[in-house]
C-alpha cells in the first residue's frame, strides 16, 4: 500500500521502540481501510493490546501511542518530513 509501512517479523525485546504502522498521512490509512476485505483492520501490539479500526473516524489525526505506556511504542505513527 502506497504511503504505509507495516511492521512484520519478530516483536521487539522489552524496552525497545516499536511502531506497528507508519504512514505518510491520515488519508493513506483511510485508503487502506477502504481496501480491507472485511472493512476493518486490527493492530495488535507486543504488550498484547489490540485495537480495531472500522471507519475513517477511528483513524487518528496524530500519532497514536500504545496505551500500555511502553517507551516509544506506537500503534500508528506518521512519518515526519
Q: Do 48 and 70 touch, CB atoms closer than 8 A? A: no
State yes or no: pLDDT of 3 exceeds 80. Answer: no
Q: From the CB of residue 73, how many other CB atoms can be counted at a distance below 10 Å?
A: 22
Q: Which long-range contacts does 45-49 make (Cβ < 8 Å, 24+ apart)? A: 45/18, 45/20, 45/73, 45/75, 46/11, 46/12, 46/18, 46/70, 46/73, 47/73, 49/75
| pLDDT tens-digit readout, 5-59 | 777 666 777 778 889 999 999 999 999 999 998 889 999 998 889 999 999 999 9
Q: Do 24 and 1 touch, CB atoms closer than 8 A? A: no
| pTM of the model as a whole | 0.85
Amino acid at each position: 500500500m502506497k504511503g504505509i509501512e507495516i511492521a512484520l517479523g519478530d516483536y521487539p525485546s522489552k524496552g525497545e521502540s516499536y511502531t506497528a504502522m507508519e504512514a505518510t498521512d491520515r488519508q493513506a490509512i483511510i485508503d487502506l481501510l477502504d481496501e480491507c476485505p472485511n472493512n476493518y483492520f486490527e493492530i495488535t501490539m507486543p504488550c498484547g493490546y489490540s485495537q480495531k479500526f472500522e471507519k475513517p473516524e477511528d483513524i487518528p489525526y496524530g500519532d497514536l501511542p500504545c496505551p500500555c505506556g511502553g517507551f516509544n511504542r506506537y500503534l500508528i505513527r506518521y512519518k515526519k518530513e
